[in-house]
Amino acid sequence: MVAAAAERALLAFFERVAEKDAAQLDKLSRCPEFRLEHGRWRFALPDLHRFLQGEDDAFASIDYTKFRNLILKSPINRAVKPFGAEIAIAENRGKVDRSRYVLIWRS
């Protein structure tokens, strides 16, 4: 149940970012861990986990390992595609936890 709620919240979060929700983008722009640039948002999974734990109760009881498994198995690209966005690896540092990811707005 907890994982299902967290997956729904995760997909909803990425959909808000993909649709360029002004309030969500403002929150992201205020976090020094993230880089919000023209046409893209860069992030690392540990930073995203900490951010979401502070933003949404659905992540309060999800430790980082569960979060990482959840994000890697979630259909995030399918969820953001209707908004002209996709998630990609921005910087491969050899480990999932150290790599940087990017949400790219294609349109």
In angstroms, the CA 37 to CA 92 distance is 19
Whole-prediction pTM value? 0.93
The string of pLDDT tens digits covering residues 35-55 is: 999 899 999 999 999 999 999
pLDDT of the residue at 1: 57
User: Which sign does the torsion angle of CA 32, 20, 24, 57 carry?
Assistant: negative
pLDDT of the residue at 4: 87
Q: Name the nearest CA neighbour of 25 among 11, 5, 39.
A: 39
Confidence category of residue 24, pLDDT binned at 50, 70, 90? very high
The string of pLDDT tens digits covering residues 1-17 is: 567 889 999 999 999 99
Q: Name the nearest CA neighbour of 54 among 27, 87, 15, 16.
A: 27
